[in-house]
Structure 1
């Protein structure tokens, strides 16, 4: 007798041969087992598909869908359309899920009636699985609804009916997750765990050798979506000097930026905030960097 999966895990992939086994294994090793794993591959050419075929033969819960390489937004949209579970969980093809992730997220869903989305901070790892940093833990377990830019996308589990009602992922929009969270936040509560449930991989090569092509594009999208609108609506207070002196000198990720790239980054930030009062710029810049770009915090 086949039991319908309660959770549908959506994992986009493209040329993920090096890390996708660890990502899949971390899903298959979850303490909660009633799920389906939907992998949407964008025409990989590096042998990823051979790996996926082997896993699909070994475990019936795995479904492999071929896409046309239209990007992550389209892959997520397609995966969610196929999903049969009541809950949708996100997973990236190079990350590692803590083995109790699904169990803990479902437990929270069952305990809070109006809850529609659960997420967590992340542990940052490098290509060798070594820990290089942590995103900041949240002081409030239930996230303030307006602060949707704090949500780490790969950690999300959400109710499918709320996702559908909100219109789902829109592939033509940049930062499709941010726009989805903004629509969903009107429908119910969000909850952020204090402890990380995902090991999020930061690839050294992509940061040091293709920073402009990869990292800066992602950074630009986050800056555009996470800073400009939220900054006008709220101001938080933190110990700015303590944060800067404690965390910035130890940052191992920013150290991979050349001086020229650092100047370019901070020049861009100055342009964004030049029309805003200085106190808003300083406070919100540090708050947002702390929460969105959690790799600034390194133990």
Structure 2
């Protein structure tokens, strides 16, 4: 078998009804020099039998025993066995479109600054329509097609679809790969790679069919709750944009803003003032922090403004309002919700 260009890490647990199609969609792709490391992570159904059958029919498939230790351990096990220059992800219930891996490798070989790329995604469900909020998230993610756009948006939401990514193995290994903890492992990896100076972006072409279901980990596992995403944002804001005591102002004193403020304090960062549009809040103090209006901001200074407004249309209006007044996103302000 030719040396693989891409090693695909595919953890699976109790996925007997979908895993065969997930693996076959990779094998049918236009990039033939691949290796699929399917990690059976403690399945109690026929998943292992299905995977063994696939491995018997195609030598590019290998089955590893994850021992039921969880997703991060399964990914790290697969990464330890990978020798190819590129490492891709795949979930056991998604479907890769034919050019997915080929297009990802072409993009990575064209830009040495990139540590990885995701692809455009198409959401689907078997039982009901995909929720409008998840559709909106996918549309936002699909629009982050330059490293600069993704860098500016990195603190809003997780900017890559995990099972769509293809990564360079060297920076993945050098930064420690996936981390186990009380937080979303994929978002932690993206922020870690960006903090290390690498670029990430999404390809504009839809190359993955991304399954949504009521039982997916992002809906059932507490590590994927909003507060754990906010904890990661605060951690990397403190390590990067707010390092060395940089002053901080936060636009939005609602629940999201107050949670961010508490978590920033855990990392030694103090919010100096809140900005609010509600007239009854302006001029007051919230948890001892003064509240001012947007007009009181003045021109940009040495501080950083964090826009903690989760409603998409309101966030876009604020972006335009700040840009029109000379504020530069990424330098003077960052959107963090």
Q: Confirm or deny that 1:151 pairs with 2:176.
A: no
Partner of 1:284, secondary structure, is coil
- Closer/same/farther in 2, CA of residues 55 and 221 from structure 1, 3 Å limit: farther
- Closer/same/farther in 2, CA of residues 69 and 190 from structure 1, 3 Å limit: same
User: 2:106 maps to which residue?
Assistant: 107
Partner Cα distance (2:46, 2:130) in 1: 27
Which of 195, 207, 229 matches 1:223? Answer: 229
Which structure's residues are more often strand, by fraction? 2
- Closer/same/farther in 2, CA of residues 170 and 274 from structure 1, 3 Å limit: closer
- Kindly tell me the number of residue pairs found equivalent between the two proteins: 254
For residue 215 of structure 1, report the CA deviation from its aligned partner.
6.1
Partner Cα distance (1:68, 1:226) in 2: 28
Deviates more, 1:267-276 or 1:31-40: 267-276
- Closer/same/farther in 2, CA of residues 227 and 73 from structure 1, 3 Å limit: same
Q: Which runs of no fewer than 5 residues in structure 1 stay unpaired? A: 236-266, 291-299
Partner Cα distance (2:185, 2:101) in 1: 23
Q: Flag the structure with larger Rg.
A: 2
Q: Confirm or deny that 1:195 pairs with 2:205.
A: yes
Q: Confirm or deny that 1:286 pairs with 2:292.
A: no
Question: Is the Cα–Cα contact under 8 Å of residues 162 and 187 in structure 1 kept in the other structure?
Answer: no
- Closer/same/farther in 2, CA of residues 7 and 129 from structure 1, 3 Å limit: farther
Which structure's residues are more often helix, by fraction? 1
- Closer/same/farther in 2, CA of residues 57 and 75 from structure 1, 3 Å limit: same
Partner Cα distance (1:55, 1:7) in 2: 18
For residue 179 of structure 1, report the CA deviation from its aligned partner.
2.6
TM-score when scaled to structure 1?
0.72
User: 1:89 maps to which residue?
Assistant: 88
RMSD over aligned Cα, in angstroms? Answer: 3.4
For residue 146 of structure 1, report the CA deviation from its aligned partner.
5.6
Partner of 1:39, secondary structure, is strand
- Closer/same/farther in 2, CA of residues 140 and 199 from structure 1, 3 Å limit: closer
For residue 33 of structure 1, report the CA deviation from its aligned partner.
0.9
Question: Is the Cα–Cα contact under 8 Å of residues 8 and 89 in structure 2 kept in the other structure?
Answer: yes
- Closer/same/farther in 2, CA of residues 227 and 166 from structure 1, 3 Å limit: closer
User: 1:297 maps to which residue?
Assistant: none
Greater RCO structure (CA 8 Å; 6+ sep): 1
Partner Cα distance (2:2, 2:211) in 1: 33
- Closer/same/farther in 2, CA of residues 172 and 68 from structure 1, 3 Å limit: farther
Partner of 1:73, secondary structure, is helix
Partner Cα distance (1:150, 1:105) in 2: 16
- Closer/same/farther in 2, CA of residues 17 and 139 from structure 1, 3 Å limit: closer
